[in-house]
Structure 1
Amino acid sequence: MIPTDLQQAYNEHCQIRLTQYQAAMQAAGRQWLIVDSGGLQTRFLDDTTYPFRLNPYSARLAPLQSFPESLMIIGHGEQPALLLYQPEDYWHAVAGLDCPAIEQRFTVKTFSQIERLLQEAKAITGGQAVAYLGERPQRFDHAQPNPTLLLAYLDFQQAVKTGYEITCIRRANQIAAKGHQAVAETCRTTTSELALHLKYLEAIDASDDTLPYDNIIAGNQHAAILHYTLRNDEPQSMNSLLIDAGATYLGYCSDISRTYGNQPGLFADLIAQLDTLQTALCDSIKPGVVYTEYHHQASLGIAELLVDNNIITCSKSQAKEQQLAGVFFPHGLGHLLGVQVHDRGGHQADTRGTPNPPPEKYPHLRFTRTLATDQVFTIEPGIYFIDQLLKKAHSDGRGKHFNWALIETLKPFGGIRIEDNVRVTEQGSENLTRPAF
């Protein structure tokens, strides 16, 4: 499960994270913590289940993606326990744990019956100030479910990644890059979005269930839909293609976007220019700067780019003052990244969960904190030609500064997004994505 070359790093990672979990418990006045891996959810009026998704608070301590119905028990001073559910079942395959690194950090016990597993958890924790993290608090009526202060403490701390986590995210980027390259080679021909999605899965040796999020494979005008996941199965000429797709490694995610244009002209020029802007933003990352400032710089840069290409017809200063770039760049510049694609804690000011919301002019920004060494997040500026936003700009007067004839020629291409995963270093940044390509 955890390869030999990462076992020492995992051991150090576990020590750091467990210390943080215990500090969070102390801040919340809890002596014990039960972390539920989660269970298999049955579909409505059916006997099949949805794919299992591991509780992120379990995933940060061990890659247990194949162990639903299991529990971690964390106390103060004791080695934490890992209670694994391993039923005697001839209908389904049951995963076994064969990982010395995890067995070194946890006292592992296996149970063939859920009732016995729950009894063991209650016997260990007793009635002493117990907290529970998970979606089934009714199983532990002696525990405080999902304490706000405990969650806020963990969410704030997890933004800074350990060496083990950074390596996992770097490897997840290397895996995803193979899929992106396979799609880039195929999208030059007549094909379908579904075929490109399947090509991506084949290239990274994955199934839909193991992806960190639903792949966005958006051809032509579909690229104007920010989270397009329908995947048309009809072959078509891909005059443009936006692919936003990632991969996982030991539970940690990558999140990468690229855009391709299949003919020379303005759209291809816009891709190249946005790529230059995005690379400059990544290179400028350094600790001590508030992430919101980078979103502001991205907005200013996109405004200049749109004016330079005569898409916006007023002066650069006027375009910036009236925030005209927001019509074409409606989302935030990026988000925290870890065992969740959108890691929690992006809008927190401290470990107590004090809100740090985005400014009113950038309402969709997911990350507003001051950058610190070893934080990992995405940088993903975009330019889109979205009917809904363009119509609104036309009706409220901002559209008087737009070159509508030129915009009409660009709308069939949909839009552009370029996204890398970036780590903050002591002096600057490390791009975890570009080397993988």
Structure 2
Amino acid sequence: MILKRLLNGVRLNKEPQTLKVCKRLFGQPVYDTHPHVMRKDHVTPGISKSEYKQRRSHLWNNICKVSHKNSALAVISAYPKSYMAHDVPYPFRQNSDFLYLCGFQEPDSILVMSNLFNSNEHNKEDFKTIIFVPKRDKLKELWDGPRTGSERAAEVTGCDESFDVDYFDKFLQKILQSDQTFDLWYDNSSPSHRSHHSKLSNTLLKSCKVKNVQPTKTSVQNLRLIKSEAEIDLMKIACDIGSKSLEKVMRYSKPKIDESHLYAKMDFECRIHGAERLAYPPVVAGGSRANIIHYINNNQLVDNGDMVLMDAGCEYFGYCSDITRTWPVNGVYSTTQKSLYEALLEVQMSCISLCHANYLTLNQIFLVMLTLLGRQLQKLGIISASISEDKLSEISRTFCPHHVSHYLGMDVHDVDEMSRNIQLRPGMIVTIEPGIYIPSDRLDVPKDWRGVGIRIEDDILITKSGPLNLTEKCPKYLSHIENIINTY
């Protein structure tokens, strides 16, 4: 009721009661329209209202620890639509921090969390969650599809109240007209929505009512770093789909195949097995093109005798897989390819074995990887056996210039503000992806090794009992891969 008084004078767009039973009322899957993927108590497939509420409560507890005696107002914006050309939108993907907190999938929305509306101003830990959503509009819905609307958004998400996003300006003015001061929690340095940021810049960010401005991103990502059981279940499905799909791509391979056909095969298999989309533009690099770390042109033919490096994954209801395999399109590794692949696989398996809780950090595993890789390169005669241990890592970095790992979750390179110097903890999911890249023009390497690029990547769940490879179903042992390709 306090929020209602605060917004006194704001007219909401109420619709006839009959619309509430219309299946086209919602802008995202709900149980009434998608019973094959949704449960009644879920906001998004696999994630319940109670879990979203718990996430918001955890964030608010962290806010209270910092704001302490001050009141606080947190504002998290959804992404806007983006366009590739006039009236041609890119497929929409929600801001992951916003999605993590409320599960609402429509663009231009705003999530607000605050204790400014409490009847007891001394109780700072009690807070309300308000979501501002796109207004229902028959003409726009005719072109773009249904919207949930403010009438049902609170019910769908489990937020306390919902309003049309058009009234956010009025909401800000009412806040400023009150006599309360507060901390503003908002990502001022990296706004996710230009229009919403402009409104905040011209109101709250200029106001003397705001005591401090604190970023929300780090606090939200700190929560996202550790996956819940529900999130782990979704990640397992994403990894299973990615693994099975990549195996089918291997079977589809043949000499002179177009990289774009392998891309299309991966996309098709992931979607046909339930994924919403690929998690990122895949790398499909034949031959020496595998030495371009993020090669995404994917428009060349893969010659007989060449390997193809594919780095691909899928997104399953907001959670991603990320897998890399390297295989010969003719189904047989050459002697050189086999030696290099087995050396890298040994390094990768050793790094996976280090992924224990409360043991190492990702940066420490990276340093181990460089040493192990250097020793393998010495055994193969690619670099001098006389190179000292203290110089070995430096030389190895010229063969593997990228890190061995990153966090994985709602985004492929997940929680980008989280340090890789954090000790691994149960519930984290990370990649382990060493590579060896020897461009054709690398003259300090014996000629037989030049022009070869290999990467092997798996997705690892950190558990109390040790590392669990979520992508182990994707073939990566030489005999298995050769058998798959040659028996298709």
- Select the residue among 276, 293, 300 that pairs with 2:371: 300
Counterpart amino acid of residue 382 in structure 2? I
Alpha-carbon distance in 2 for matches of 1:6, 1:272: 48
1:208-254, CA deviations, whole angstroms, 9 ceiling, x for partnerless residues? 99332111111111100000000115464361011111111221111
- Counterpart contact for 2:286–2:302, Cα < 8 Å: no
The verdict on how the C-alpha distance between 1:278 and 1:243 changes in structure 2, with shifts beyond 3 A counting, is same
Deviation at 1:23, TM superposition (A): 2.9
- Counterpart contact for 1:336–1:346, Cα < 8 Å: no
Alpha-carbon distance in 1 for matches of 2:168, 2:369: 51
- Select the residue among 127, 139, 164 that pairs with 2:199: 139
Residue 35 of structure 1 aligns with which residue? Answer: 76
Residue 283 of structure 1 aligns with which residue? Answer: 353
1:155-213, CA deviations, whole angstroms, 9 ceiling, x for partnerless residues? 33322222222222222111211321121112234311101100111101179993321
Residue 362 of structure 1 aligns with which residue? Answer: none
Counterpart amino acid of residue 130 in structure 2? A
Deviation at 1:78, TM superposition (A): 4.1
| Structure 1, 250-259 or 262-271: larger mean CA deviation | 262-271
User: What 5-or-longer segments of structure 1 have no aligned partner?
Assistant: 349-366, 392-398
The verdict on how the C-alpha distance between 1:204 and 1:31 changes in structure 2, with shifts beyond 3 A counting, is same
Counterpart amino acid of residue 320 in structure 2? C
The verdict on how the C-alpha distance between 1:91 and 1:104 changes in structure 2, with shifts beyond 3 A counting, is closer
- State how 1:126-275 maps to structure 2 within 5 Å: 129=182, 130-133=184-187, 134-136=192-194, 137-140=197-200, 141-144=202-205, 147-205=213-271, 210-234=277-301, 236-237=303-304, 239-261=306-328, 262-275=332-345
- The answer to whether residue 451 in structure 2 is matched with residue 412 in structure 1 is yes
Deviation at 1:94, TM superposition (A): 3.0
Counterpart amino acid of residue 423 in structure 2? T
The verdict on how the C-alpha distance between 1:290 and 1:126 changes in structure 2, with shifts beyond 3 A counting, is farther
Residue 352 of structure 1 aligns with which residue? Answer: none
- Counterpart contact for 1:70–1:82, Cα < 8 Å: yes
User: What 5-or-longer segments of structure 2 have no aligned partner?
Assistant: 1-28, 30-36, 116-125, 207-211, 476-488
- Counterpart contact for 2:302–2:308, Cα < 8 Å: no
- Counterpart contact for 1:40–1:52, Cα < 8 Å: yes
- Counterpart contact for 1:299–1:326, Cα < 8 Å: yes
The verdict on how the C-alpha distance between 1:99 and 1:270 changes in structure 2, with shifts beyond 3 A counting, is farther
The verdict on how the C-alpha distance between 1:123 and 1:199 changes in structure 2, with shifts beyond 3 A counting, is farther
Q: TM-score, normalised by structure 1?
A: 0.80
Q: What's the % identity of the aligned pairs?
A: 22
Residue 100 of structure 2 aligns with which residue? Answer: 60
- Select the residue among 49, 52, 60 that pairs with 1:14: 52
The verdict on how the C-alpha distance between 1:148 and 1:240 changes in structure 2, with shifts beyond 3 A counting, is farther
Residue 81 of structure 1 aligns with which residue? Answer: 130
The verdict on how the C-alpha distance between 1:248 and 1:101 changes in structure 2, with shifts beyond 3 A counting, is farther
The verdict on how the C-alpha distance between 1:33 and 1:243 changes in structure 2, with shifts beyond 3 A counting, is same
The verdict on how the C-alpha distance between 1:132 and 1:126 changes in structure 2, with shifts beyond 3 A counting, is farther
Query: RMSD between aligned alpha carbons?
Result: 3.4
- Counterpart contact for 2:76–2:186, Cα < 8 Å: yes
1:360-411, CA deviations, whole angstroms, 9 ceiling, x for partnerless residues? xxxxxxx2221122111111111111368x46xxxxxxx4xxxx33xx3333
Answer with 1 or 2: which has the greater Rg: 2
Indicate the SS of the match to 2:257: coil
- State how 1:323-334 maps to structure 2 within 5 Å: 323-334=394-405
Alpha-carbon distance in 2 for matches of 1:276, 1:17: 39
The verdict on how the C-alpha distance between 1:227 and 1:175 changes in structure 2, with shifts beyond 3 A counting, is same
Alpha-carbon distance in 1 for matches of 2:299, 2:175: 52
Counterpart amino acid of residue 54 in structure 1? Q
Alpha-carbon distance in 2 for matches of 1:123, 1:42: 34
Alpha-carbon distance in 2 for matches of 1:68, 1:160: 26
- The answer to whether residue 90 in structure 2 is matched with residue 50 in structure 1 is yes
The verdict on how the C-alpha distance between 1:51 and 1:304 changes in structure 2, with shifts beyond 3 A counting, is same
Residue 407 of structure 2 aligns with which residue? Answer: 336
Counterpart amino acid of residue 153 in structure 1? S
